[in-house]
A and B are shown apart, each in its own frame.
Chain A
Amino acid sequence: MSLPDDYLKYPHRRHGMDHDLYPWSNLFNRQPVTWPGDKSVALWITVALEFFPLTPNEGPFRAPGHMVTPYPDYRTYTTRDYGNRVGVFRIMKVLDALGVKASTPMSAKIAERYPALLDAVQKRGWEIIAHGIDMNKIHYGGMDKGEEAQQIEDALVMLEKSTGKKPTGWFSPARSESENTLKLLAEHGISYVCDWVNDDMPYGMTTEAGPIVAMPHTMELDDRHLMVTLGQNEDTYREQILAAFDLLRTEGKTYGGRILHLSLTPYVIGQPFRIHALKAVLEEIMESGDVWSATPGEILDLWQSQK
């Protein structure tokens, strides 16, 4: 038994990355950034508002959180819906009380189907990040380029029509991209993308259609990742977010402003037994006085102006 000769050839074994999407860079050797009021940490909150159709997609995989049982999977559909009807309003209440800004990766279908929810979002000035058409319309390696371009176009047009404004940020459903996604996003005037989890700060990416910035939209501190995928409880969630804040705050004093990103999922953190954890976390973070609560657009603008 042996493997083909090519298996021991390494065509991309060279200095830097094995692709041309972005250069390697050491976080601790970069130009420091200063946030308003000289705060150590920018607090960036995303509240995912996703539409999971009862008829899940065919194709290579389903988005995490999608239907599980044979049709009709009422249990999953309604559990997700709970987040968009109830959980999100619980989150809003916590954020409102503390004056914390937020943003939302939003399925275009949410904006279209639930004007009351969109209204609640817009009234609060949350920044809307394009999050595809719905959770069926994933982007994946090998997909038809024309089909993908259409998906992006449709999502952006639908969102603009519903919200009155074209989003400047993008978060791919299921955090999945094809080999063409970044280029297509740049072509469509998107200035930042939230899919990449390799940094704690924004960094520049290059595409054939021009630059795009990767924003540090975390997975490790995502409520769904910690409490659903890994099965942790909300006390552990709270403890870890605060530990992250402590470290970022310390680094912020030496290396320039850092970003604490909290990825919130209304059907997870918005449960009655979990919401206290969000409240406790945000109260403690805001009380520190060392935080700049901001939208991703504001963070990006400031970061770009200081590069």
Chain B
Amino acid sequence: MKYDPGLYDYWPYENRPKIVWPGGKKVAFWVAPNIEFYELNPPANPQRKSWPRPYPDITPYSYRDHGNRVGHWRLMEMMDEFGVRGSISLSVAMCQHHPEIIEACAARKWEFFSHGIYNTRYIYGMDRDQEQAILTDSIKTVEAATGQRIRGYLAPALTHTEHTIDLLAENDFWYSCDLFQDDQPQPLKTKSSKKLVSMPYSLEVNDHYAFNVYGQSARQYADLLKRQFDTLLEEGVDSGTVMCIPLHAYLIGRAHRMGPFREVLDYITGHKQDVWVTTAAEIAEFYLANCYDDALTSINAAQKKAS
């Protein structure tokens, strides 16, 4: 085991090379609906139980199933209204279980990235080949269902191994949403010669944290998202920032939460001059082409200065 992840160098949030997003925009804004499938009776992973009670643990199972029956459709319609395309953190088995949802998203040109096969199959304890099999399955499954080559990853239920980030680079992924050390994209260190970007995703503004960890109301969540945006916009004048709203339709798509959330989308997309409403893959692509090398030079210089 390692004392630190060793995936990036320390890089202070001041005096970084200036990022200017396409069209001179200051904040790259993306929305990440987690479209997940949880199994009623998943096999046991030695390091993590899927459900707290003896199976079938129907309450947490059906609680999440609400998203695929009800919440997704509400959220998608609202995103349509504000011209926001989702970048979907996808349990790729959704392509088999609910192709109706996949087709609706693909028709809107939403981006898909892998969030594992099921959100009840954890990566903990997998060997390199097994973890590679998850990535191969993800790439093939989404390609077969949508024609899209996935470029991003968020480990299922945030379960990782020491190989995860290396494997992403080897498999021509452009970005990982697995690390939460920053509000700007940045290069990740991998054993591969291929470039991989760490994409800001933010657990702190994830609806799961807001509602079920911090116990916030729909209104409080809406307010915090607006404040998050205000700060990132202010800072984005100096160097472009990324704001992601990670969502779960089974949470945000509840009847009492859609109204306040609508105000958030209205507010953020209303800053037309300053906001690049985009997808994670588009941010990664732009960053790789325009910012990655400067960032690496700056990071290396910061390391030299430190040593």
Residues on A close to B: CB < 8 A? 1-4, 6-8, 10, 12-19, 24-28, 60-61, 140-143, 175-179, 195-200, 219-221, 229-232, 236, 239-241, 243-248, 251, 260
Contacts and interface: CB of A to CB of B under 8 A. Distances in A.
Given A15-B97, A24-B100, 13 more contacts: A1-B127, A7-B126, A7-B130, A8-B121, A14-B97, A18-B97, A27-B69, A61-B53, A141-B56, A179-B56, A198-B62, A230-B212, A241-B256
Given A2-B127, A13-B97, A27 B53 contact: no
Nearest to A143: B54
Contact of B256 (A196, A229, A244): A244
B245 interface: no
B125 A243 contact: no
B59 A195 contact: yes
Nearest to A25: B69
Contact of A239 (B98, B125, B127, B219): B219
Contact of B254 (A15, A24, A239, A244): A244
Given A240-B218, A247-B259, A10 B126 contact: no
B277 to A, nearest CB: 24
B68 interface: yes
Nearest to A17: B97
Given A2-B130, A3-B126, A236-B219, A28 B73 contact: yes
30 contacts: A1-B127, A2-B129, A2-B130, A3-B45, A3-B46, A3-B125, A3-B126, A4-B43, A7-B126, A18-B97, A19-B40, A19-B56, A25-B69, A26-B100, A27-B69, A27-B70, A28-B73, A140-B54, A142-B55, A176-B53, A177-B56, A195-B58, A196-B62, A197-B62, A197-B63, A200-B255, A230-B212, A236-B220, A241-B256, A244-B255
A2 B118 CA distance: 18
Given A1-B125, A1-B127, A3-B126, A196 B58 contact: yes
Contacts of B260: 243
A232 B254 contact: no
Given A140-B54, A175-B59, A219-B63, A12 B39 contact: yes
A307 B270 CA distance: 42
Nearest to A230: B215
The interface residues of chain A, by DSSP majority, are classed as loop
A3 B122 CA distance: 10
Interface in B255-270: 255-260
A68 to B, nearest CB: 17
Given A141-B54, A141-B57, A10 B117 contact: yes
B24 interface: no
A3 B124 CA distance: 9
A17 B61 CA distance: 12
B75 to A, nearest CB: 12
B256 A240 contact: yes
A220 B248 CA distance: 14
A132 B75 CA distance: 37
B207 to A, nearest CB: 12
Contact of A248 (B98, B126, B255): B255
A221 B256 contact: yes
A27 to B, nearest CB: 5
A142 B219 CA distance: 41
